[in-house]
Amino acid sequence: MLDKINSLKAAIEALSATSKEEVEALRIKYLSKKGEISLLFNDFRTVPNEQKKEIGQKLNELKNLATEKINNLREAVDNKQSDSNDLDLTRTASPLRLGKRHPISLVKEEIISIFSRLGFTIAEGPEVEDDWHVFSSLNFAADHPARDMQDTFFIQRNPDVLLRTHTSSVQSRVMTTTEPPIRIICPGRVYRNEAISARAHCFFHQVEALYIDKDVSFADLKQTLLYFAREMFGKDTQIRLRPSYFPFTEPSAEMDISCHICGGKGCAFCKHTGWVEILGCGMVDPNVLDACGIDSKKYSGYALGMGIERITNLKYRVKDLRMFSENDVRFLDEFEAVH
């Protein structure tokens, strides 16, 4: 009996297993009712009385050893399996917080996407500009108030270096360097010397569109505006053009869209008119074409410009312009990227 116990003990100590099934087989072999250790317990009856104490103790030790060994083997196999299945080396130590796109970027991308479907490509220009590209080439009179220190941030005087007050400056940059046909959209940041409030800021964003070719007419402009308005604000949107004045377009107009909040019936948002203004536009003034080296007898074109903050306000009803530049994550978190 003692020999049997000792040889089992040695065998159990040397056990190993690589899978759950193997561990289970070992448990059955040694510890089940008909297992080797249980059989020894059955034989215990035949042990002479004077040996019962010693052998009983050894038997119990053997059973404990086998139980412990098999439990350890099971644990090792479990760990190994979960290691190989669940180990994800790409996981970060702490969860990553996903950022959101800024509402101005979202709306800018949407405007670009609408115009790109009409064949417009993006053009960009510098924010620090000279007088010619921002004012003179665009037919601003020498004494135009926009050139005033009160309206424009000057970096240097004579020759004038300034922060562009509108993205129309990109028009003249492209016109002086490109042969028509020209079909561009120019998104960018612009600067004006304004006191900062809920309704005005000293920097904001604009998108300019310019189309120059032979025989471009006001009807082309109107169709583009209608397409844009419906893509941006929904297919039931109506547009209305009011005569206006800009130095660089003739004739000039401002475009309103039917108020998308009340559907044109009149509400506090549209000041009970049913319409909200969204952009300026017109036919490029022949003086501008000529100043930029494009033959105004051969070519004509239209231009339009809009503030991205304004469009964003209409879409998302942001009441305070300052929210756009404060980078408060609680505000930015409200916007989901659609593209």
- Asked if residue 305 binds ligand DAH (CB under 6 A), the reply is yes
Give the SS3 label for residue 160.
Answer: coil
Strand 161-163 to 154-156 pairing: antiparallel
Binding region for ligand DAH (CB under 6 A) out of 105-113, 149-157, 288-296, 302-310: 302-310
Q: Binding mask 200-219 vs ligand DAH (x if CB under 6 A, - otherwise)?
A: --------x-----------
Residue closer to ligand DAH, measured from CB, 8 or 163? 163
CB of 111 to ligand DAH, least distance (A): 14
- Asked if residue 280 binds ligand DAH (CB under 6 A), the reply is yes
Sign of the Cα torsion 231, 303, 315, 164 reads: positive
CB of 188 to ligand DAH, least distance (A): 11
Task: Kindly list the strands in the beta sheet with 154-156, ordered across the sheet, starting from the edge strand earlier in the chain.
Answer: 128-130, 161-163, 154-156
Binding region for ligand DAH (CB under 6 A) out of 49-57, 75-83, 217-225, 280-288: 280-288
Q: 3-state secondary structure string, 7-18?
A: HHHHHHHCCCCC
CB of 122 to ligand DAH, least distance (A): 16
Binding region for ligand DAH (CB under 6 A) out of 72-80, 129-137, 233-241, 276-284: 276-284
C-alpha to C-alpha distance for 76 and 166, rounded to whole angstroms: 70
Which of 189, 140, 175, 190 minimizes the C-alpha distance to 303?
175
- Asked if residue 249 binds ligand DAH (CB under 6 A), the reply is yes
How many residues are recorded in the chain? Answer: 339
- Asked if residues 260 and 317 have their Cβ atoms less than 8 Å apart, the reply is no
Among 278, 304, 311, 318, binds ligand DAH (CB under 6 A): 304
Q: Contact positions toward ligand DAH, by CB under 6 A?
A: 166, 168, 208, 246, 249, 280-282, 303-305
